């Protein structure tokens, strides 16, 4: 008997929309030309790239289409933004970021700290994942080259007030970058009305293809390219354009832009029903993150006294795909740095499950999770030494940690 598959891991990646695939296909075959070429093969492809740039411009609300630089994805965009800001800000040698950023930011900052003597200020968050604004203000100075703060957190969905944070950075004369990989296509964005200097996005998070993304660089912002060796993207990102990917990202952006409001009210409805249903059915569980201010598609629920990978394996057997902040689901065995930064106790952080929705999900998907989850949690709690007869046993179970 096969189970009906339910995909609730859209913050990890999304299915490419069929309209996106259809638009991309000709650019592998008949429209294979290099946009840089003089001949007709190249010319029409160049037009398609311009078109895609315009679509992305509209989704981001940027003032000019040439503010968009196509890259290979969110990670490249983040690396390019950080390195550029350091190289283009002589006399300024500090970066401010947060404890809950994606590794593409945190690891790059650590690298800059190690290899270029950059001082990195890491701003903490409260128990709901909200940024410590006081610490941020205190860290800003005339030494700050760049502030990099994510628009929305990938694990909890918590949204940062990036427009306000960017104003503060501007007042200090620092550049402001935001990793908006999770936010683009899920919240309204209008960059021309903000002081955000750079923004990273990724195609595969919004039903576009993998291997394509973009970096928004506000007109006039000093930029030093990461990849050298070609005039492409106005010299800002060398290398022959990934034209099928660019065309695909353009269509994905167009669809997201056209349906943003309707999609998000539908998606948040499903999300809220799942969340309420799970909390009603399962005791000793709670939502992590800032429920008043988060992405409409994300729910991160901690089920206490059990471990996330075990939950995921049993969910997987019930056809349900989600993800976990558990140490054991990552190759590094590091527990979620996001939940740790929020001070979530480890017996809860390990059992945190993230459900992330998209427009393809249905009420039936929610019902399937609501039916499967209580049994899974009960079963694992019976196996847990931290749990006895329907209650926590943390006071009696005190293992020796080796």
Residue the block writes with tokens 């800059």: 112
Identify which range of 54-62, 282-290, 302-310, 352-360 contacts another protein by CB under 8 A: 302-310
For another protein, the binding residue among 80, 310, 339, 348 (CB under 8 A) is: 310
Catalytic residue, from 260, 328, 370, 392: name it: 328
Closest to 227 (Cα-Cα) out of 96, 12, 79, 92: 79
Identify which range of 120-128, 142-150, 205-213, 312-320 contacts another protein by CB under 8 A: 312-320
Side-chain-side CA neighbours of 332 within 13 Å: the count stands at 6
Identify which range of 68-76, 90-98, 263-271, 301-309 contacts another protein by CB under 8 A: 301-309
Known active-site residue 328: yes
The DSSP bridge partners found for residue 323 are 354
Asked if 318 touches another protein (CB under 8 A), the answer is no
For residues 360 to 389, the per-residue mask of contacts with another protein, x marking binding by CB under 8 A and - elsewhere, is ----------------------xxxxx-x-
Cβ closest to another protein, residue 2 vs residue 29 = 2
For another protein, the binding residue among 51, 65, 132, 309 (CB under 8 A) is: 309
Strands (E), 22-158: 68-71, 94-98, 119-123, 144-148
Asked if 305 touches another protein (CB under 8 A), the answer is yes
Cβ closest to another protein, residue 165 vs residue 320 = 320
For another protein, the binding residue among 332, 364, 390, 395 (CB under 8 A) is: 332
Report the alpha-carbon distance of residue 252 to residue 55 in Å, rounded.
9
Q: Which two tokens stand for residue 273?
A: 């029903």
Asked if 288 touches another protein (CB under 8 A), the answer is no
For another protein, the binding residue among 350, 353, 356, 365 (CB under 8 A) is: 350
Report the alpha-carbon distance of residue 317 to residue 308 in Å, rounded.
14
For another protein, the binding residue among 219, 317, 363, 391 (CB under 8 A) is: 317
In SS3 terms, 32-56 reads as: CCCCCCCCHHHHHHHHHHHHHHHHH
CA distances from 91 to 87, 114, 118, 129, 173 (A): 10, 18, 11, 33, 12
Cβ closest to another protein, residue 279 vs residue 383 = 383
Give the burial class of 280: count Cβ atoms within 10 A of its Cβ; 0-12 exposed, 13-18 middle, 19 or more buried.
Answer: exposed
């Amino acid at each position: 008997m096969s189970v009906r598959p339910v995909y609730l891991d859209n913050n990890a990646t999304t299915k490419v929309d069929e309209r996106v695939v259809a638009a991309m296909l000709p650019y592998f075959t008949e429209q294979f030309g290099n946009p840089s070429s003089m001949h007709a093969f190249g010319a029409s492809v160049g037009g398609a790239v311009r078109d895609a740039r315009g679509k992305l411009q509209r989704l981001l609300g940027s003032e000019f289409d040439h503010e968009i630089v196509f890259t290979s994805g969110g990670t490249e965009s983040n690396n390019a933004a950080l390195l550029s800001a350091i190289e283009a800000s002589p006399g300024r040698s500090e970066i401010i970021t947060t404890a809950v950023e994606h590794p593409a930011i945190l690891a790059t900052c650590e690298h800059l700290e190690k290899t270029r003597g950059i001082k990195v200020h890491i701003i903490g968050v409260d128990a709901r994942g909200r940024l410590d604004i006081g610490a941020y203000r205190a860290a800003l100075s005339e030494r700050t080259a760049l502030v990099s703060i994510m628009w929305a957190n990938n694990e909890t969905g918590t949204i940062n007030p990036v427009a306000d944070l960017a104003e503060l950075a501007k007042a200090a004369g620092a550049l402001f970058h935001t990793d908006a990989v999770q936010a683009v296509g899920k919240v309204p964005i209008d960059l021309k009305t903000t002081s955000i200097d750079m923004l990273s996005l990724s195609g595969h998070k919004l039903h576009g293809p993998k291997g394509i993304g973009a970096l928004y660089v506000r007109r006039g912002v000093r930029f030093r390219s990461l990849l050298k060796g070609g005039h492409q993207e106005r010299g800002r990102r060398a290398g022959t354009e990934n034209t099928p990917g660019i065309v695909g990202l353009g269509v994905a952006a167009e669809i997201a832009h056209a349906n943003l409001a309707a999609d998000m009210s539908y998606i948040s409805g499903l999300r809220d029903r799942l969340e309420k249903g799970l909390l009603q059915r399962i005791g000793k569980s709670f939502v992590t993150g800032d429920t008043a201010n988060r992405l409409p598609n994300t729910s991160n629920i901690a089920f206490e006294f059990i471990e996330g990978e075990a939950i995921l394996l049993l969910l997987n057997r019930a056809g349900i795909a989600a993800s976990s902040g558990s140490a054991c689901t990552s190759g590094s065995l590091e527990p979620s740095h996001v939940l740790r930064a929020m001070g979530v106790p480890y017996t809860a952080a390990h059992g945190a499950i993230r459900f992330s929705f998209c427009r393809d999900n249905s009420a039936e998907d929610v019902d399937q999770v609501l039916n499967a989850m209580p049994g899974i949690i009960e079963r694992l709690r019976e196996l847990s030494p931290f749990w006895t007869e329907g209650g926590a046993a943390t006071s009696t179970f005190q293992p020796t940690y080796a």
